[in-house]
Structure 1
Amino acid sequence: SQAMVRDGEGATKFITITVEDAKNEAEALKVAYAVAHSPLVKTAFFASDPNLGRILAAVGNSKVLDLDATKVSLWLDDVLVAKNGGRAPEYMEEQGVAVMSQDEITVRISLGRGDACETVWTTDLSHDYVSINADYRS
């Protein structure tokens, strides 16, 4: 499965998205796929832009009922970026840039509402992806 994701058209980065502390596995997957499928999140990865707002917005757009944003935390690799729904006080943007510049990135999201955990894989959305898919007719 990972090999298929890594071979994505024009992909430059491999991203693991783990959602933990969800009510159930379906909820964890709903959030993980909302982040993984977000074009704004995927382009932020391509740009090495640690835009926590895009990731948190994707979590919010997942349509999880009664999600309490004040319980959501977010890590880029081992760097705590957001805590209790907002920017972590100890977070420095340079830390996020360093992680986002890597070829492989792990995003970990805690929903703070249960014990379920799920992981999905995705890639960034690059100029090459757009060119490859815009330059031919099927």
Structure 2
Amino acid sequence: MEKRYTHMTFFWGTNSEILFTMWPGTRRGMYGLALIVVFLMAFFVELLSCRRIARLGRQRPRLLAALFQTAVHALRVGLAYLLMLALMSFNVGVLIVAIAGSTAGFLLFHSSVFHGVEPCAEAIPVKQ
């Protein structure tokens, strides 16, 4: 049996294991693919955090809407946990792309830069 060493401090390098044994391994192309996957996971966590996504099911009967919202929540939590596990590889490249993916998702889905108002916030009626 071969002993493998798991990093317990942050390190730079393409020789890493992210989420699965021997993935991405020692190949730079696979490491690049792993970074893209981590970026997309962080981006989609921000997308699924958007309240508008959860409100898409409101037009359906109440039970179906609740099931849809629950499925969106479960998907968001699952992706967030996978992202956390990827970050536990202690690879600095993974950390950087996770932050970049979350930042890009926040910019597109939660900030008012592209929409003039907060795109994911629900309109709160103002009582007079």
State the TM-score, normalized to the length of structure 1: 0.28
Higher relative contact order (CA 8 A, sep 6+): 1
State the TM-score, normalized to the length of structure 2: 0.30
